Amino acid sequence: MKTLKKQGGFTLVEIAIVLVIVGLLLAGVLKGQELIESSRTKSMAKDLNSMTAVVASYQDRYRGVPGDDLTAAAIASRGWAAGPALVAVAASNNLIGAAGVNPFAAAAGTENTQAIRALRFAGFIEGNAADVTLPSSAAGGLVGLTNTVFGFGARNVVCLNNLNGKQAGALDRLLDDGVSNTGDIRAVIAAAPPAAAPGAATNYVEATPGFVLCKPL
C-alpha cells in the first residue's frame, strides 16, 4: 500500500494573513499619495495667496503697484541691493502690464517681468533681482502676474501654469466654487490665460495636463 505524501502549501489562514498585509500596505501607499497631493494643493494655494499679500504689502510700502511703480527704477534711492536698474515706467494705471498679456511669455522689459524683479528688490519674494525668470509654483510650473484676463475686467491677477486637471480642480475646490469658468478661481486648458471668461466650464479631468489658472489679487 502506497503512503500518500503530504502536499506543501499555504493554509487558508496564512493566505488570509498575507492578503490583509498586502491590503494594509496598499492602503498606506494610497493614503501617503493622498497626503502628498493634499500638501501640494495647499502649497499652490499658498503660492496664490502669498503673491496677493506681497503685492498688497508692496503697494502699502511704496504707494505703487510693482512693475507699474513710477519711482521704482531709482533703486539706489530706495536702498535696494545693487543690480540692473528696473525699466522706468512712463505712466501708471495701477495695472501690471498691458491688458491680457500672457505672463508666462512676457518679454524681459515688460511690467509683468519688472513686477517680479521689483518684488525681489524689495525682499518680498526670494531670488536675485537681476533675474527676470518667474518664480516656480508648488506644481512645478510658474507663477506670473498680469491683468484683464478670464473676464475679470481691469484687475490684476496672479496665475499658475502647467497644472493637470487634478491639481487645478483641487485648487478651485479649496479656494472657490470648483467650477472652472465662474468665481474667483478660473482655469482653462491653454498656454495663456484668455481675455474673456470661458463660455463653458472645462471639466477637471485628473490626468489632463496643460491647465492655466488665475485668481484676482
- Residue at 119 is within a domain: yes
- Residue at 125 is within a domain: yes
- Residue at 12 is within a domain: no
Cα 25 to the center of its chain, rounded Å: 32
Task: Give the chain's domain count.
Answer: 1
- Residue at 34 is within a domain: no
Angle 206-211-212 from CA coordinates, rounded to 5°:
145
In tens digits, what is the pLDDT along the chain, a chain of 217 residues?
Answer: 555 555 566 677 777 787 777 777 776 665 556 666 777 789 899 999 999 999 999 999 999 999 999 999 988 888 888 778 899 998 999 999 999 999 999 999 999 999 999 999 999 999 989 889 999 999 999 999 999 999 999 999 999 999 999 999 999 999 999 999 999 999 999 999 999 999 899 999 999 999 999 999 9
Please give the Cα distance from 80 to 60 (Å, whole number).
17
Name the residue range of residue 177's domain.
Answer: 40-216
Residue from 91, 38, 58, 39 nearest 217 by CA: 58
Please give the Cα distance from 154 to 149 (Å, whole number).
8
Sheet architecture: strand order including 186-189: 143-147, 156-163, 211-216, 186-189
- Residue at 16 is within a domain: no
- Residue at 8 is within a domain: no
Which CATH number characterizes residue 117's domain? Answer: 3.30.1690
Question: What is the total residue count of the chain?
Answer: 217
- Residue at 207 is within a domain: yes
Please give the Cα distance from 150 to 186 (Å, whole number).
7
State if pTM tops 0.85.
Answer: no
Please give the Cα distance from 79 to 180 (Å, whole number).
43
- Residue 179: φ, ψ to 5°: -110, 130
Residue from 93, 88, 85, 86 nearest 70 by CA: 88
| Residue 170: all three cell numbers together | 483641487
Number of helices followed by number of strands (H, E) in the chain = 3, 4
Residue from 85, 66, 89, 82 nearest 74 by CA: 85
- Residue at 170 is within a domain: yes
